[in-house]
Amino acid sequence: MRQLETARGPFAVEDFGGGGPDLLLVHGTGHNLAVWAPLAECLRGQFRVAAFDLRGHGQTPQDSSDPEQYWRDIGAVCAALGLRRPWLLGHSTGGYAVTAFAADGGDCAGIVALDGFVLDPRQTPEERQAWHLPREQLWDLFRYGWRATPAEVEAYVAQVIAQAPGDWLNAGVPAAQVEAFTRRAFLAQPDGRLLRRPTMEEIAVVSRPDPDAPIHPAVDLYDRLTRPAGFLLATRGLYATRRAALEAVVARRPNRRLRLLDANHNLHLQQPQAVAEFMIGMLDGIPAGAA
């Protein structure tokens, strides 16, 4: 893992190596590039795989000052890594990020979204905010923005690992993987403390997109998407009840594919081999097990 200078500032990146078409992995809110290690291992035989920490996350030092920066960063990161017309695979918020980038004309071969879709009409910032968890609940669940001592972080990491088997997001994820991405979520501060990223301020910035912007987290985004696109829907994930809406999106173009996967929201951590098979299948346009 290293810091990479790009036209849009420094980013923490990991080049997992491999051979074949270029592939960039884009994580979701609260995660970081450490979540991709199992999937990258499954894909390195077919792709050259890379990942990065989104701004406001992990070990990337810069934060967001507008709601579009995080997905617009994809092009700069790809250029700095030397990725040529890469495939893009994103999870949760990262699923929207890769879709937005491609829909805006970003250079890529195609995208795959893992349990990260936009299936509702455009909403005002106030309407969107009504669907978000209260700050207190986000704190209780994830400690976003916590400034902790090294000892407090160690205790917290141990607690997350111990609770993982019964956690709706981390159940079934190996303990070593839970430890890796939890520990990486803390960025060292000048005063010796560590900051849990993202902060509440980061979430507030990216949660208020301009409702009149051409690229917006709403279902009309898919009208702009012409690249090949794959969609993996977790049967126990955040969109488990939205299958019909997603099927309608997939039906709009012949170069779109859908697969249901028996997993929770963190399907790439639960079933990396199944996700890899779907991604590899996209090269031929017929993912294994496509619905």
Measure the CA–CA gap between 144 and 95, rounded to whole angstroms.
21
Measured CA to CA in angstroms, residue 96 lies from 46, 99, 194, 208, 259 at distances of 24, 5, 29, 14, 17
pLDDT at 232: 98
Measure the CA–CA gap between 239 and 66, rounded to whole angstroms.
26
Q: What one-letter code names the amino acid at 1?
A: M
Bridge partners (DSSP) of residue 25 are 51, 89
- Residues 263-274: what's their mean pLDDT? 97
pLDDT at 123: 79
How does pLDDT run across 87-139, given as a tens digit for each residue?
Answer: 999 999 999 999 999 999 999 999 999 999 999 999 776 666 544 566 777 87
pTM: 0.95
pLDDT at 290: 43
Q: What is the mean pLDDT of the chain?
A: 94
pLDDT at 54: 98
- Residues 149-168: what's their mean pLDDT? 97
How many beta carbons lie within 10 A of that of residue 236, not counting itself? 15
- Residues 242-268: what's their mean pLDDT? 97
Residue 275 has pLDDT above 80, yes or no: yes
Measured CA to CA in angstroms, residue 143 lies from 33, 139, 170 at distances of 19, 4, 16
pLDDT at 252: 96
How does pLDDT run across 195-232, given as a tens digit for each residue?
Answer: 999 999 999 999 999 989 999 999 999 999 999 999 99
User: How open is the CA angle 50-53-55, to the nearest 5 degrees?
Assistant: 135
How does pLDDT run across 8-23, given as a tens digit for each residue?
Answer: 999 999 999 999 999 9
Domain ranges within the chain, ordered by starting residue: 2-134+201-281
Residue 40 has pLDDT above 70, yes or no: yes
pLDDT at 291: 41
How does pLDDT run across 49-82, given as a tens digit for each residue?
Answer: 999 999 999 999 999 999 999 999 999 999 999 9
Fold type of domain 2-134+201-281:
Rossmann fold (3.40.50)
